[in-house]
């Protein structure tokens, strides 16, 4: 039984990577949401999960991943998330230190909120709190692959981002089936 669950997780990771552009064809963004919907069971839940997963993947996160990897954010991504992370600051000896002054931390926080935007409505459709909040793991997935690329692979470019799509696909699939 557990071997089948790992096969499903592997398939979910692969389909999320396809969604991210592994094979560039017109239906690549439909496969992962369709997969998540199929593993749900009844038709009503399948429809809701498909819509939630499809719409959830549409909003951007490139600026957030780029910032997590060390780039200075140069454009807005998701206005609601940007508004939140750009307004976060701490006061230290009367000086306001904004989260945006630390791009990696800013990207990490923004990507966590972005992950929640994707997972929350899927979790709502299946009635599972763990699925609703699993999006907070999105920045950990991409940070892990950044570290793997930086320390071991040393390929640079979009290698870490592409690996992050595999890991994030596995994580969100695992939350769907467990």
Q: What confidence tens digit (pLDDT) does each residue in 10-38 have? A: 999 999 999 999 998 999 999 999 999 99
Whole-Å CA distances, 163 to 122, 146, 170:
23, 9, 11
Whole-Å CA distances, 115 to 38, 133, 139:
21, 8, 8
Rounded-to-integer distance, Cα 22 and Cα 15, Å: 9
- pLDDT tens digits, 125-166: 999 999 999 999 999 999 999 999 999 999 988 999 999 999
In the chain, where the domains are located: 2-177
Rounded-to-integer distance, Cα 50 and Cα 57, Å: 11
pTM for the full predicted model: 0.93
Look up residue 156 and give its two tokens: 């640079």
The dihedrals phi and psi of 95, each to the nearest 5 degrees, come to -105, 135
């Amino acid at each position: 039984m557990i071997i089948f669950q790992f096969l499903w997780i592997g398939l979910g990771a692969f389909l999320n990577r396809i969604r991210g552009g592994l094979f560039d064809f017109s239906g690549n963004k439909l496969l992962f949401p369709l997969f998540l919907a199929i593993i749900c069971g009844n038709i009503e839940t399948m429809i809701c999960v498909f819509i939630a997963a499809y719409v959830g993947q549409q909003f951007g996160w490139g600026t957030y991943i780029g910032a997590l990897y060390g780039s200075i954010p140069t454009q807005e991504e998701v206005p609601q998330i940007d508004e939140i992370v750009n307004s976060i600051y701490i006061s230290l000896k009367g000086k306001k230190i904004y989260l945006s002054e630390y791009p990696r931390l800013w990207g990490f926080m923004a990507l966590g909120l972005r992950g929640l935007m994707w997972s929350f409505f899927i979790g709502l459709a299946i009635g599972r709190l763990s699925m609703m909040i699993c999006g907070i793991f999105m920045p950990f997935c991409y940070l892990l692959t950044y570290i793997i690329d930086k320390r071991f692979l040393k390929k640079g470019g979009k290698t870490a981002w592409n690996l992050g799509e595999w890991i994030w696909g596995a994580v969100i699939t695992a939350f769907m089936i467990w």
